[in-house]
Structure 1
Amino acid sequence: MTADVARRDSIATRDTVVLVMALAGIYMVSQFLRNSVGVIAPNLATELNLSASEVGLLSSVFFFSFAAAQIPLGVALDRYGPRRCMLVCAGIAIVGTLMFAAVASPFWLTVARVLMGLGSSCYLMAPLALYAKRFPPDRFATLVGVQLGLGTVGTLLATAPFAFAVALIGWRMSFVVIAGMVVAAAILVSVVVKDDKDGTPRARETLRDSLKGTLAAIRVPSFWPVFAVQLASYSSFVVVVGLWGGPYLTHIYGYSLTERGNMLFVAVLAQIVGSMLWGPSDRLFNSYKIPILIGLLLTAATLGLAAIVGIFSPIALFLWFVAIGLFPAVLSVVIANGKSLFPPVLVGRGMTLMNMGTMGGVFVSQSVTGAVIDLFPITTEGYALNAYRAVFGFQAVFILLTLLIFLWARDPRRSPPSWG
């Protein structure tokens, strides 16, 4: 009997590992697409004669379409299941990626980025919906940390490896290769991820019922304070690594394509490590709020330091990029805090609403900071140092303002909800 139990446990462990690896694999591609402008931003600005605002829009429109998809995605996850949502989104992502590789005008590149955002919109929420249903609640933050950590390998590929590929075959052909990776990841998901077969038919909600469910999720206590902190958490990493970090290294430090790719690689590697470290911290502190406050205050301090200092020594610059990856990785706890607010019936659309804040915050940060940079005159080297200082200062203040709102949130680790 003991041997049978051990064998079942071994099979369950193996199945869990395979499931997590498949879900993390397709999330890697999503992460690459969302951060792929960072390394090639100077190339795009030169080749297409784009202003800073236009570069910011080209990057941020991905996050706008991603965020806009979250409400219908929440309904679709509850109605059709994660597997179908992921496969449909894969098709849209493939079209967008191939379009980005083929078109030449800024307008059609922007349309392609919109399609990439729509196609990538479910590759965090669908896995989290699966984890929420299939694993104990006290393991959810750890699984989020693993998902984010492994998935962030995609962001890693968008740094030094992407810079190498761009130098070797060009950025357009590199996106063709990425489209092939989306196809491979979708095939893996179709094989590994199975629909739940618990004998319960999926709800066929009317539009009115769907809207009622969304409104019910918004009315959950502490929704808005946690939503506020979602706006600043991930955007503080992406505004640097996904957009302005590359131009900052080129214009202020004279870094080449390969050199800026290597430095961004450092930040993403730190985020992967940070996701694994922050993931179980809610259990260590028996609190969501404490690690979130620590992580985001350190993030604001890191950005504020760059706003004040402007130019770092080589060692300090290296450590700054480590910090900009490590501290915002507390996002795994922010996500777990958001999920913990909702009863099981609202988890799908509740988490997608929270993710709307996460990705919408990136859209706001990247769009606004592009406009901020355009307020400063362009030097012979590129964007002015004071423009970058203003960008870092803006993001630091953005974090602090959202944390002030977050202070009013209830901590479900300390005060469990009435339905729990």
Structure 2
Amino acid sequence: MAADVLQRDLGVTADGLAALTGAFPAAFALAMLPVGVALDRYGVKPTALALLAIAAVGSALGAVAMGPWSMLVAQIVLGIGCSGMLMCPVTYAAKTLPPQRFGLWGGVIQAFGNTGMLLSASPLALLVDHAGWRAGYVACALLAIGAAVAVFAVVRETSAPLQARRGVLDDARDVVGLLLSSAIRGPVVIAFASFAAVLGVRGLWGGPWLMEVKGLARVPAGNVLLFCTAALIAGPALAGVLERRFQRHRAALMVAGHLGAALAIILIVAGGLLGWGVAADAVLLTVFGLLISSQVICFALVRAAMPPERVGRALSAMNISFFGGAAVMQAISGVAAAASGIGAALLVFAAGLILVSLAFPRLPGPR
């Protein structure tokens, strides 16, 4: 929603901004290694509090960034701080709920987390128009502090068991081993393009597409993106219900959802060439949000393949793929945008979704 003013104030091009913001998921992915170890070794609550403090610092750095290098530092710190914001509640649920209930609650957790995207649609557009993009980072710092206070006051957790027989490096090697293992290879591969598409379509290129290609002002573009956001809120909960209802076919549901999301992206770009109205974009963005939400089934597949004492490391290993893929694909989309426009950048994510979806049935791992 602030891509144009960020480019102007930071002195970067569209592909430069894509590279800068790509540092966030890259740092996020790298942080998954120590986060996975910390979740199993020290527990959810202390890990969450430490990461929220780092996120608040990263937001403050973003608010005072004066150029591309200072914004790069801010994105890296933010990526580290936010790296546990999904994994902490998901790991908590995985450790305390039976496997047959985890899929549903994994969807509920992601749906609730995605409500934050509501703030980055019309509300962020209004804030940028009235107070500038730096105010958005200040608001994020305040939200991180508020979340830390809530975690401290509300979360109740028994002490994590001591792991005297294993060192921290052993745990870290276990995360890497799980990432490369055949035990969860299928979910890890499909995760590579899955969240990348969410960040690419809803986070980075959706606003520029609506403003630059469709000619909308900032706030109307934010209003259109609210449809996608609403779908990303309802979708994970719906996917969790379907996963629980059709457990024998959950992998097929996930693959079909990702292929459908790719088709929605292709139709959005085709509509730009054919002159379709903004209403078509709103519908297709909604469809995309609902279908890509089948990604929550990845968490259920990994949980089913792992014992409780390793689930934090296993989920973190998959999250390395989620956000590492986002970093790689976001950088590629920036190159595509510089060469052929925003439509080409969007098609990068459609291609990625198709490739991993077609590969999934041929890979080992839980089903």
State the AA in 2 paired with 1:395: F
Residue of 88, 101, 104 corresponding to 1:142 = 104
Give 1:332's aligned residue.
Answer: 296
Q: Which runs of 5+ in 1 are unaligned?
A: 1-38, 377-386, 414-420
Distance in 2, matches of 1:219 and 1:57, equals: 26
2:8 to 46, 53, 59: 46
1:234 aligns to what SS in structure 2? helix
| Cα offsets for 1:348-397 (capped at 9, x unmatched) | 11100101111112111211100111113xxxxxxxxxx23322322222
Measured in 1, the distance between the counterparts of 2:279 and 2:14 equals 28
State the superposition RMSD in angstroms: 1.8
Verify the 8 A CA contact 1:42 1:246 in the aligned structure 2. Answer: no
SS across alignment from 2:84: coil
Q: Kindly indicate whether the alpha-carbon contact (under 8 Å) linking 1:222 and 1:409 is maintained by their aligned counterparts in 2.
A: no
Q: Distance in 1 between matches of 2:296 and 2:176?
A: 25
% identical aligned pairs: 30
Question: Distance in 1 between the 2:290 and 2:101 partners?
Answer: 22
- Contact persistence 2:20–2:71 (CA under 8 A): yes
What is the aligned counterpart of 1:69 among 20, 28, 31? 31
* Matching of residues 272-311 of structure 1 within 5 Å: 272-286=233-247, 287-311=249-273
Give the TM-score, by structure 2 length.
0.94
Q: 2:346 aligns with which of 392, 396, 403?
A: 392
| Structure 2 residue runs without a partner (length 5+) | none
Hey, what's the Cα distance between the residues in 2 that align with 1:346 and 1:197? 16
Q: Would you tell me which structure has more helix in proportion to its own residues?
A: 2
Cα deviation 1:237-256 (Å, max 9, x = unaligned):
21011001111111111111
In structure 2, give the amino acid aligned to 1:226.
P
Pick one of 163, 166, 172 that aligns with 1:205. 166
Aligned to 2:190: 229
Q: TM-score, structure 1 length as denominator?
A: 0.82
Question: In structure 2, what is the Cα distance between the partners aligned to 1:344 and 1:279?
Answer: 20
Question: Compared with structure 1, are the counterparts of its residues 106 and 316 closer, same or farther at alpha carbon in structure 2 (3 Å cutoff)?
Answer: same
Residue type of the alignment partner of 2:6:
L
1:314 is matched with which residue? 278
Moved more, 359-368 or 203-212: 203-212
Pick the structure with greater CA Rg.
Answer: 1
State which of 245, 258, 264 in structure 1 corresponds to 2:225.
Answer: 264
Asked if the contact 2:22–2:331 (Cα under 8 Å) also holds between the matched residues in 1, the reply is yes
Q: How many residues align?
A: 364
- Residue 204 of structure 2 aligns with an amino acid whose one-letter code is L
Who is 1:8 aligned against? none
SS in 2 for 1:195: coil
1:219 positional shift:
5.7
Q: 1:138 to 1:56 in 2, by over 3 A?
A: same
Mapped contact 1:129–1:348 kept (Cα < 8 A)? yes
| Structure 1 stretch displaced more, 397-406 or 347-356 | 397-406
| Distance (Å, rounded) in 1 between the aligned partners of 2:328 and 2:226 | 24
Matching residue within 196, 203, 220 for 1:242: 203
CA separation in 2, counterparts of 1:335 and 1:357? 12
What CA distance in whole angstroms lies between the structure 1 residues aligned with 2:176 and 2:5?
44
Find the partner of 2:79 among 106, 117, 122: 117
For the residues of structure 1 that align with 2:217 and 2:173, how far apart are their CA atoms? 52
Alignment partners' CA distance in 1, 2:169 and 2:28: 23
Cα gap change, 1:188 to 1:203, in 2 (>3 Å): farther
The AA in structure 2 aligned to 1:356 is: I
Question: 1:60 and 2:14 equivalent?
Answer: no
Matches of 2:272 and 2:252, distance apart in 1 = 30
Partners of 1:217 and 1:346 within 8 A in 2: no
Residue identity matched to 1:129: T
